[in-house]
A and B are shown apart, each in its own frame.
Chain A
Amino acid sequence: MSTSGADHRAVADFLYREARLADEARYAEWLALWTDDGVYWMPATADPGADPERHLSHIYDNRARIETRVKLLQTGVRHSQEPASLMRRLISNIEVEAAPDGELVAGSNFILAELAVQAKRELHWWAGRATHRLRRVGGELRMSRKTVVLVNAAEPLPNLAFLI
């Protein structure tokens, strides 16, 4: 289904805001972007045939586990993110479609620079494509599903304990 220019702008604004909240470790505000039935998936392969019911994923969180992920970061003793990585990500190549149920499906590419300051102070580069399903809840867009496919999803990865 087709989407309007206004939809596209609203989606882009949402994606930029979500990226900034994640970059700046604003965990509670990031969590508030989810619907109550949110699913956060990062497959461990870039193969489009990946199936989280049969294959191991990096992340396959239901809403309760998304909250656990955020609460860990909020304890102040999540050593892998203590202190939090310094991050900035670029979002581009945004494409928006409307799903039959009225949710918006947004694909976007990202590049993320992460300074992992917890041990060796290394700069890590992450890149991939994210797919967001966005639903209007009380007039605001919320994520009901976020899928992140890293270009190197199947390679050995360093810690990824921040919000991606």
Chain B
Amino acid sequence: MIDYKHLVQDDRIHASLYTDPRVFGDEMERIFHRGWVFVGHASEVPRPGDYVTRTVGAEPVIMVRAGDGTISVLVNRCRHRGTMVCAADRGHARTLTCPYHGWTYDLRGELLGVPYPGGYADFDKGANGLPRAPRVSEYRGFVFASLAADGISLAEHLGPATRLIDRSCDLSPEGEIELTAGWVRHRCAANWKMLPENDSDGYHLGFVHMALFRTIQSQYRRVVGDERSIKAVVRDWGRGHIEIDWSPGYEGLFEWLGSASGSSVARFVAEIERRDGPEAAQRRFREGPAHALIFPNLFLGETNIAIVQPVSVEECVHWHTPMFWKGVPEWNGRLLRMAEAGMGPASFLMPDDLIIAGRNQQGLRARTSPWLLLGRGLSREIVDDDGRIVSHVTDETTNRGFWRHFRSVMTEA
């Protein structure tokens, strides 16, 4: 038994959490099997028969919409001999048929039939469907699954962090986002936990992304400079959900886009003002979409949606796609170009993050001093009226929030 209470302390964590394959195995069971995991967005499977293939932790799954409109998360493994049923990243099907011996399932995973059924004397089709995630739940189109039959509800898991998802979706005039641009997947030679930690780390920007700051003006310029002049904050929402909020440093509207002007902006603002009133609309366009990690694997990356996929103890994949706002399709081109600038293997930001993560993984092989320090900001963080822990954007409040929840999940009965 691994002593997680020893390895995860309030102001430091042990290197083996990133390097020990036994820890990875425990995480797959306790975080990715028992807990709620983001799988995909309803807009990726708009019609009955549409499916995408994903993983829930190490488990290959199919997210598929059935004829009645419901979305299932099925394990991508034929009940008969274990063959992967769907090989494509996405597709459309009336039934799901295993290529090996032709076992055929409906879109909810029920076994419809097997060829030459006379070979089975007493066969219970009802007990031989595709294994399925027993619990699947949506929030504003975000589909989450748990592979365990029992546990807390998705609403309990998300808690007040639904407001982070709302912040991104409410920028759409129709209140809905669409993920239709396709995903880019970026391989990272590091433990998966470095991605959520880095995605919510406000301390590294001026260093890891120094090349970008030296080259172009960006919306992040307000968070590099004198420590006391930086207004952005980090927040720990509880249950491992953690946020960087740049918006206290934003003075005008659309600073989170760099800048924006022209008729498409005017129409966008007018649409939201009509729905929410001028004051709320101005606030939405000043604040912009969320920059937050929904534990364990969904990153609301401002105008992008990203997924953290663990592969092995020293390898993971960062997925991303631009978030399109339903109702203002004229913005899609801009959002595509923002996604390409920020994320992915050939972009201007993430390659630098992921190479540093790779260097972290190499550095953690040194065991002379096995502890990583997480104490930054402990003496100045505060608890706000909503019970969230808030601190200076460069503080490790987010890391501590992630690890506090990690410890709780890894040690609960």
Contacts and interface: CB of A to CB of B under 8 A. Distances in A.
Given A118-B358, A154-B89, 9 more contacts: A53-B336, A56-B183, A56-B339, A56-B340, A58-B340, A59-B346, A77-B211, A80-B351, A161-B345
Nearest to B316: A156
A55 to B, nearest CB: 5
Nearest to A148: B346
A159 interface: yes
Interface string B319-363: 011100000000011001101110011101001101110110110
Interface string B166-189: 000000000000001111111101
A80 B332 CA distance: 28
B290 to A, nearest CB: 20
B343 to A, nearest CB: 9
Contact of A78 (B322, B333, B336, B352): B352
B340 A158 contact: no
Interface stretch (B72-80, B212-220, B273-281, B294-302): B212-220
Contacts of B187: 156-158
Given A72-B215, A75-B210, A79-B208, A159 B355 contact: yes
B294 to A, nearest CB: 21
B317 interface: yes
A54 B361 CA distance: 36
B185 A72 contact: no
B214 A68 contact: no
Contact of A158 (B216, B345, B362): B345
A120 B333 CA distance: 36
A70 to B, nearest CB: 9
Contacts of B354: 80, 159
Contact of A69 (B321, B339, B348): B348
B189 A158 contact: yes
Interface in B192-216: 208, 210-212, 214-216
Contacts of B322: 56
Contacts of A158: 186-187, 189, 345
A102 interface: no
A44 interface: yes
Interface string A102-133: 00000000000000001110100000000000
A159 B340 CA distance: 13
A45 B182 contact: yes
B351 A161 contact: yes
A75 B211 contact: yes
Interface string B117-158: 000000000000000000000000000000000000000000
Contact of A71 (B89, B215, B341, B345): B215
B333 A53 contact: yes
Nearest to B341: A65
A53 to B, nearest CB: 6
A60 interface: yes
Closest 7 CB pairs of A and B: A119-B358, A80-B351, A156-B185, A78-B211, A161-B351, A160-B345, A75-B211
B212 to A, nearest CB: 7
Contact of A58 (B181, B216, B337, B344): B344
A58 B340 CA distance: 6
Interface residues of B, number: 41
B352 A79 contact: yes
A43 B214 CA distance: 28
Contacts of A57: 336, 340
Nearest to A67: B215
B332 A72 contact: no
A155 interface: yes
Contact of A72 (B211, B333, B339): B211
A161 B211 CA distance: 12
A71 B181 CA distance: 28
B208 A55 contact: no
B346 A58 contact: yes
Contact of B345 (A56, A58, A65, A73): A58
A42 interface: yes
Most buried by A among B187, B214, B332, B345: B345
B91 to A, nearest CB: 13
B346 A75 contact: no
A52 B215 CA distance: 25
Contacts of B358: 118-120
Most buried by A among B320, B322, B346, B352: B346
Contacts of B361: 119
Contact of B355 (A55, A118, A164): A118
Nearest to A69: B348
B303 to A, nearest CB: 12
B189 A120 contact: yes
Interface string A142-164: 00000000000011111111001
B356 A79 contact: yes
Contacts of B184: 44, 56, 58
A56 B181 contact: yes
Contact of A54 (B208, B332, B339, B356): B332
A133 B210 CA distance: 34
A44 B208 CA distance: 25
B63 to A, nearest CB: 18
